[in-house]
Amino acid sequence: MGIIGGGQLARMCAGPAAELGITLSVLAESDEASAALVVPSSPVADHTEADAVHAFARHCDVVTFDHEHVPPHVLELLVAEGVQLHPRPEALTYAQDKLAMRERLTELGIPCPRWARASTSADVTAFGDQVGWPVVAKTPRGGYDGKGVRVVGGSSELADWLERASTDGTGLLVEEWVPFRRELAVLVARSPSGQAAAWPVVETVQTDGVCTEVLAPAPDLDVGLSSSAVHAALRVAGALDVTGVLAVELFEVGEDGGDPSFVVNELAMRPHNSGHWTMDGAVTGQFEQHLRAVLDLPLGSPRPHGRWTVMANVLGGDLPDLYPAYRHVMAHDPEVKVHMYGKGVRPGRKLGHVNVLGDDLGDLRARAGHAADYIRGVVTE
Amino acid sequence: MGIIGGGQLARMCAGPAAELGITLSVLAESDEASAALVVPSSPVADHTEADAVHAFARHCDVVTFDHEHVPPHVLELLVAEGVQLHPRPEALTYAQDKLAMRERLTELGIPCPRWARASTSADVTAFGDQVGWPVVAKTPRGGYDGKGVRVVGGSSELADWLERASTDGTGLLVEEWVPFRRELAVLVARSPSGQAAAWPVVETVQTDGVCTEVLAPAPDLDVGLSSSAVHAALRVAGALDVTGVLAVELFEVGEDGGDPSFVVNELAMRPHNSGHWTMDGAVTGQFEQHLRAVLDLPLGSPRPHGRWTVMANVLGGDLPDLYPAYRHVMAHDPEVKVHMYGKGVRPGRKLGHVNVLGDDLGDLRARAGHAADYIRGVVTE
């Protein structure tokens, strides 16, 4: 199996691939890419260069992705050359292009924030005056972890984006600002044969636009909301013919005391940060499941091992050498599962994550948070 | 970390090493060795050649083993050159040499079958006449999976071994034949700092001298026996200064209706088939724990995820291509965890194993056995 992109998501496929007897090859950004450090076959090339990607892909039985950034013309060439891509470009476009995603989800009747395509300052102003300010503006392509997203009180704050959008003709996505109760995510996997499996709905906690904590399952989640969210994710996976793992990020909304409901925030068609808890917390982790789905192998059970699993991301901080902190965390709590990505430290960069399982959610959050904060260097005891 | 030997035990370290951020290098038997297929740095060399092993080891911070077959003179050279070996040769000798093991365990007061060193036919006859026939004869070095072991009714059945033993001066180990109730194993890990952790005692089921099934924990195990077996394994690990994983294979003995007790059968100082269940069935699997112990990182929790885990080995059978059977097994039971070693099929060869967790032991045994038998090709539905 080929994976385009050598980040931590490709790296975390390596263990399950070895266990399943699947030979991986990774198209890496550099010899020092996270996945290139652990996968024997890791040629280095630029994923935007069609010839290089094709040279890589024709030695693979099937090709999947570490990220959504392979340009459409490269994907089209691969398909024309007979490469088996999962997810297929027809599906992947809805994870690459947020305007296309909003159009399609709206057609399917999946709840979304009110939205519009804006090409001019006047479009933005008209939308904001209609739904109320502030509004959320997004570049349709290339955003992640809060990049490519702005909350704006007027169209003048988007002058640079609108100028670029008018040049390339793409337009911007503008959405109503949703006063959400919290953020949720549903992770499902779907195979080319159409088999699908869903993990429980989780709560995701973001800090400065970056996911820092995941609670699995989402605590105190309304049963009807849980069911309708899973149903919606499976429906999206089926209607878009998604193959592999699909992450659907949601906002839980509703008046205080009223019935909760949700709107879809984003889609990702690959293993996702909101699913890292499954590596230790479920019978089948998301990386194994993605491999099984992409190869059209029967899917594994998503059953959780315990009552709760809490995941906390380890972000780069001031400590240049993480090893002593990492030793300390292991000694402090033998139940904490530490996952490191082999990446150099930069402030705010995702360097790893920790998982911890058990029966007491508050205790687990404290322990996972302590481990992540200690490795980051923001707590020292 | 360097691992000498590229078998499945080294291979199964690859996933945990990637997650812990540890860079592995494997001294492999060939480019097609099980671990060489999944570890980027896998130089090929003969583990009995001191210069080759030293050239490998001096690029590693620490070196451990996939098997016990590195000759003592090679180990001594490595230590003299300052290589950090775990387990150290002083400990490893008790896993390499069964006569040395029996002497040391007897000194420690650890229960063993009655035993003797036999150099001549007369030695064997005298021992058998004393303890009763048949007796179990073992070559002190090089045996595994039933190889190097014979149950004999008289010394004439050992003529070839005695001739070889008289040439090399090693002698044979002869032991009383133990009418055991069942076989058990205790797996512990111990770090250079002396921290130790034990998984629950398991029952191992052998067929034709090869382990085929492991039940974790051992069902209906006497609480006192469990405690004394774990205590003995931890005592052996400490007294022998074992570093890394230690497997202690036991016979459960005792008259019907009487109190059960145990004698030690074998020691292994590396991850062991009796611990494969921990990969899916415990918070910390044996491969992760071995890496942590060898690096003197704090050890992880050995807590099981569920009531029972059953492991069944997948042995080579008549099916040359396992893929269709493997698909079937995944479809048949989404809870079964399949682990394959990337090895070519030969009858009786260990090609992989399956684990399954749950509350109903009989059901789990049936399901694990079915999966293993189906991949082997001995059942077809």
Per-residue pLDDT tens over the stretch B247-274 = 999 999 998 888 899 999 999 999 999 9
Q: Which residues of B touch A37 (CB under 8 A)?
A: 18, 23, 40
Find the closest chain A residue to B36 by CA distance. Answer: A40
Q: Which residues of B touch A20 (CB under 8 A)?
A: 338-340
Q: Which of B21, B37, B42 sits opposite A340 (nearest CB)?
A: B21
Name the DSSP letter for residue A70.
S
pLDDT tens string A317-366 = 888 888 888 899 999 999 999 999 999 999 999 999 999 999 999 999 99
Say yes or no to pLDDT of B209 above 90: no
Distance from the first to the final alpha carbon of chain A:
43
Distance from the first to the final alpha carbon of chain B:
43
> Pairing state of beta strands B308-315 and B25-27?
unpaired
Which B residues, 348 through 367, put their C-beta within 8 Å of a C-beta on chain A?
352, 357
Which A residues, 301 through 340, put their C-beta within 8 Å of a C-beta on chain B?
301, 303, 305-306, 326-327, 330-331, 334-335, 337-340
Mean pLDDT calculated for residue range B6-26: 98
pLDDT tens string A6-31 = 999 999 999 999 999 999 999 999 99
Say yes or no to pLDDT of A146 above 70: no
**Contact between B357 and A283 using a beta-carbon 8 Å cutoff:** yes
Q: Looking at the complex, does the CB of residue A298 fall below 8 Å from at least one CB of chain B?
A: yes
- pLDDT at residue A332, as a whole number: 96
What is the overall mean pLDDT for chain B? Answer: 95
Find the closest chain B residue to A283 by CA distance. Answer: B335
- pLDDT at residue A208, as a whole number: 84
Half-sphere exposure of A279 (CA within 13 A, CB side): 34
- pLDDT at residue A256, as a whole number: 81
Q: Which CATH number fits domain B182-376: 3.90.380.10, 3.40.50.720, 3.30.470.20, 2.30.40.10?
A: 3.30.470.20
- pLDDT at residue A127, as a whole number: 98
Percent of chain B with pLDDT over 90: 88
- pLDDT at residue B167, as a whole number: 81
pLDDT tens string B218-253 = 999 999 999 999 999 999 999 999 999 999 999 999
Q: B114-176 with B182-376: one CATH topology?
A: no
**Contact between B283 and A357 using a beta-carbon 8 Å cutoff:** yes
**Contact between A335 and B283 using a beta-carbon 8 Å cutoff:** yes
Three-point CA angle B359, A186, A212, nearest 5°: 100
CB A351 within 8 A of CB B20: no
The CATH code of the domain at A2-85 is 3.40.50.20
CA distance B196 to B289: 10
**Contact between B334 and A299 using a beta-carbon 8 Å cutoff:** yes
- Identify the CA nearest to A104 among candidates A185, A34, A173: A173
**Confidence tier at B170 by pLDDT (50, 70, 90):** confident
Q: Looking at the complex, does the CB of residue A39 fall below 8 Å from at least one CB of chain B?
A: yes
Task: Calculate the CA A160 to chain-centre distance.
Answer: 27
* Four-residue CA torsion sign, B198, B203, B206, B211: negative
Give the contacts of B26 (CB within 8 A, at least 6 positions apart): B2, B3, B5, B6, B10, B33, B35, B36, B39, B41, B42, B43, B66
Pick the range with the lowest mean pLDDT from A216-230, A250-264, B178-192.
Answer: A250-264
Peptide bond into B87 cis (omega under 30): yes
pLDDT tens string B315-347 = 998 888 888 888 999 999 999 999 999 999 999
Count CB atoms within 10 A of the CB of residue A81: 11
- pLDDT at residue A312, as a whole number: 98
CB B355 within 8 A of CB B365: no
Say yes or no to pLDDT of A173 above 90: yes
Q: Looking at the complex, does the CB of residue A194 fall below 8 Å from at least one CB of chain B?
A: no
**Contact between A283 and B335 using a beta-carbon 8 Å cutoff:** yes
Task: Calculate the CA B352 to chain-centre distance.
Answer: 15
**pTM for this prediction:** 0.96
Q: Tokens for B206, please give them.
A: 């052998």
CA dist B292 to B1, B26, B85, B243, Å? 11, 17, 14, 10
* Domain ranges within chain B, ordered by starting residue: 2-85, 114-176, 182-376
Q: Tokens for A260, please give them.
A: 């909760």
Higher per-residue confidence, B326 vs A271 = A271
Mean pLDDT calculated for residue range B192-200: 98
CB B339 within 8 A of CB A19: yes
CA dist A3 to A232, A294, B292, Å? 28, 11, 29
User: Chain B: nearest CA to A249, how far in angstroms?
Assistant: 26
User: Chain B: nearest CA to A78, how far in angstroms?
Assistant: 26
Q: Looking at the complex, does the CB of residue B298 fall below 8 Å from at least one CB of chain A?
A: yes
* Long-range contacts (CB closer than 8 Å, 24 or more residues apart) made by A325-328: A325/A374, A325/A375, A325/A377, A326/A375, A326/B21, A327/B297, A327/B298, A328/A374
**CATH fold of the domain at A114-176:** Dna Ligase; domain 1 (3.30.1490)
**Confidence tier at A195 by pLDDT (50, 70, 90):** very high
Say yes or no to pLDDT of B367 above 90: yes
Say yes or no to pLDDT of A144 above 80: no
Q: Tokens for B199, please give them.
A: 């998984």
User: Chain A: nearest CA to B138, how far in angstroms?
Assistant: 34
Which residue reads 């949703």 in tokens? A178
CA distance A135 to A123: 12
CA distance A71 to A82: 17
Q: Which of B16, B38, B331 sits opposite A40 (nearest CB)?
A: B38
- pLDDT at residue A25, as a whole number: 98
pLDDT tens string B49-87 = 999 999 999 999 999 999 999 999 999 999 999 999 999
- pLDDT at residue B303, as a whole number: 97
Q: Is the ipTM, as predicted for this complex, more than 0.90?
A: yes
CA dist B215 to B123, B282, B362, B372, Å? 38, 13, 10, 15
Q: Which residues of A touch B326 (CB under 8 A)?
A: 21
Q: Tokens for B158, please give them.
A: 């050992």
Q: Which of A19, A297, A335 sits opposite B327 (nearest CB)?
A: A297
User: Chain B: nearest CA to A365, how far in angstroms?
Assistant: 18
What is the overall mean pLDDT for chain A? Answer: 95
Find the closest chain B residue to A335 by CA distance. Answer: B301
Helix B50-57 to helix B72-80 angle (10° resolution) is 40
pLDDT tens string A75-110 = 999 999 999 999 999 999 999 999 999 999 999 999
Mutation pick from B37, B44, B283 vs chain A, by most beta carbons of A within 10 Å, is B283
Percent of chain A with pLDDT over 70: 99
Q: Looking at the complex, does the CB of residue B21 fall below 8 Å from at least one CB of chain A?
A: yes
